[in-house]
Structure 1
Amino acid sequence: MSLITESELRKRLKKDNLKELKELQVLKKDIVTPSAKSFLTEHNIELKYVDVIEEKKDEKEEKVIIDEYKYETIFGAHLKEKPEHMTHLKGNTLVFKDHNRILFRGKVDTLESKILETQILCNKLGEALVIKDLQEILDFVRRILRCEVLEEELLEFNLQGMTKEELREKSHYPEKYFGMSHFTPDYTMGEVVIALNSLRTLTREVELSALKAFKNEYGMVERVDIIRALNRLSSLFWIMMFKYRTMKYKQK
């Protein structure tokens, strides 16, 4: 299985006359990103999924050359083996491990692990409803990462029955919805509140990492969908802290 992106398509088809090309065959097991599909549509090229791709003679000759290496880098180098200091950005494209998108993925990985640790804590304390809400968040975080890796758009979302607009509203005006003003976390508020606060602050770190990963040298920002989702997620942890302190998780 391979991931076919728009940039990879452009490289594949640069030798072809796009006006004469009517069809592009890909294996059924391959994943074609939305941007790649849009590129094909713009050039009136039909995307056809097949079990086996029949190769022309010249294509076979080109394949022999391609098979001499397994990886390529974003700066054009071709490699037979993956160096220890590099990792996959997408498909067989390698980048240095300190690439901003790789650092972002590492931050997301850390957030996932901390959510799991908080679930274990809540399990020991018998906080089943908090565990359930955290599981929804964990699934959402994994969805964010999947959309980033596959370069898919993160579509509209709903968390704990709230839209992104409602998440912002309730976190900004807690007194209106919970009868409690914003507060400074304190150890006397208990383990669950402090653990949720740690997840909130870590989510802000992930959001800043995303901004660094998707802001170019001219200040233009890509993947606003991911940055917005992380912003609302940090708001959700605030909401959970208010819910816990006002005994909402104790109600049936």
Structure 2
Amino acid sequence: MSVITEALLREHDKKNPHQPLKINKSDKLTPSAKEYLREQKRYQCHEESTPKKEVKQVRVQENEYRPFEVVDTGFQPKFVSYYDGGYYQEKPEWMTHLSGNQLVYKDDSRIVFRGKLDSIQSQILVTMHQLKDTKYLWLLENLDEMLQVMREILKAEVMETPYEIKNLFGLEDKELRAHSHHPQKYYGIKHFVPNVEMGQEMVLINQLRSSLRELELVGINAFRNGSKIEREDLLRVLNRMSSAAYILMCRMRGENRGQTND
């Protein structure tokens, strides 16, 4: 598969004004390339199906059609702009990879999302380090599970593959939601607002919970296009992750309920 950009089309038309360029079915046209083809009257793409193969054709003159031909311009861009199809032979310092050789600005919403995912992973590791000598050693295993989920989210976003939580803390997706909504039923405590008297462990997990809420908002900003939501699977997982952090808080609170006035 090749990425066909407006720049490549213009370069070809400049060097070969009367020779059509072949565009394979697997090739990807950038938005600006599609617009360029629409603007150029001599480019009107059609498909003809035969029992053996499909052939795309191009209008080179009024009422004259012939199949696309393979044309080697001798130019292969190293990097392509995701926004306008422009190409670079050297990656600008202010841009980074989105996927393949496509570049975006470093403040692109999806790159910001990936950066926040990285920050959350760092925060989980710091939290695990701070809790390794406390009485809540069971938290380390649960936090490690959350860390693995964060890594899987990042992988699924970059690779553009679907992802869902199969099991976390021994709970399935629907159970995670139920446990976070009904702590009285599952942990014998009411919903509560943490305070400093509840200890370092509670404060650290609550900090992680609020960071996960922020990550969810960053995710919505990255995957909302008007009223259309993309990557609903990842947004659902992010919602469950903040619930998971609250579940850990409820489990700690539940262990200490005999020592409190709940």
Distance 2:143 2:51 in 1: 49
1:51-104 deviation line (CA, Å, top 9, x unaligned)? xxxxxx957x35x311xx310011211001111111111111000111000011
Q: Which amino acid aligns with 1:215?
A: R
List alignment gaps of at least 5 residues for structure 1: 24-42, 44-56
1:243 to 2:243 alignment: no
1:86 to 2:95 alignment: yes
**Where does residue 241 of structure 2 map in the other structure?**
233
Q: Which amino acid aligns with 1:167?
A: L
Distance 2:80 2:247 in 1: 45
1:65 to 2:83 alignment: no
Q: Which amino acid aligns with 1:78?
A: Y
Q: What TM-score comes out, normalization by structure 2 length?
A: 0.71
Counting helix residues as a fraction of each chain, which structure ranks higher? 1
Distance 1:88 1:140 in 2: 23
The alpha carbon displacement at 1:161 in A equals 1.0
Distance 1:131 1:18 in 2: 61
The alpha carbon displacement at 1:109 in A equals 0.7
1 or 2 for the larger relative contact order (CA 8 Å, sep ≥6)?
1
**Shift in alpha-carbon separation, 1:155–1:19, aligned structure 2, 3 A:** farther
1:148 to 2:157 alignment: yes
Q: Which amino acid aligns with 2:232?
A: V
SS of the residue corresponding to residue 176 of structure 1 reads helix
Residues 17-96 of structure 1: matches in 2 within 5 Å? 19=49, 58=70, 61-62=72-73, 64-66=74-76, 69-74=77-82, 75-96=84-105
Distance 1:22 1:140 in 2: 46
Following superposition, which runs of at least 4 residues in structure 1 exceed 6 angstroms of deviation? Answer: 14-18, 20-23
Residues 97-246 of structure 1: matches in 2 within 5 Å? 97-125=106-134, 127-216=136-225, 218-246=226-254
The alpha carbon displacement at 1:124 in A equals 2.7
Distance 1:211 1:149 in 2: 16
The alpha carbon displacement at 1:205 in A equals 0.5
SS of the residue corresponding to residue 158 of structure 2 reads helix
Say whether the 8 Å CA contact 2:166–2:173 is kept in structure 1. Answer: yes
The alpha carbon displacement at 1:158 in A equals 1.3
Q: Which amino acid aligns with 1:214?
A: F
Distance 1:177 1:185 in 2: 18
SS of the residue corresponding to residue 246 of structure 1 reads helix
Structural RMSD (CA) = 3.0
1:98-147 deviation line (CA, Å, top 9, x unaligned)? 10000111111110000000000111325331111111110011001100
**Shift in alpha-carbon separation, 1:101–1:76, aligned structure 2, 3 A:** same
SS of the residue corresponding to residue 183 of structure 1 reads coil
Distance 2:86 2:217 in 1: 30
**Shift in alpha-carbon separation, 1:197–1:156, aligned structure 2, 3 A:** closer
- Percent identity over the alignment is 37
Number of matched pairs = 207
Q: Which amino acid aligns with 2:241?
A: L
List alignment gaps of at least 5 residues for structure 2: 4-24, 35-44, 55-68, 257-262
Radius of gyration: which is bigger?
Answer: 2
Distance 2:126 2:146 in 1: 13
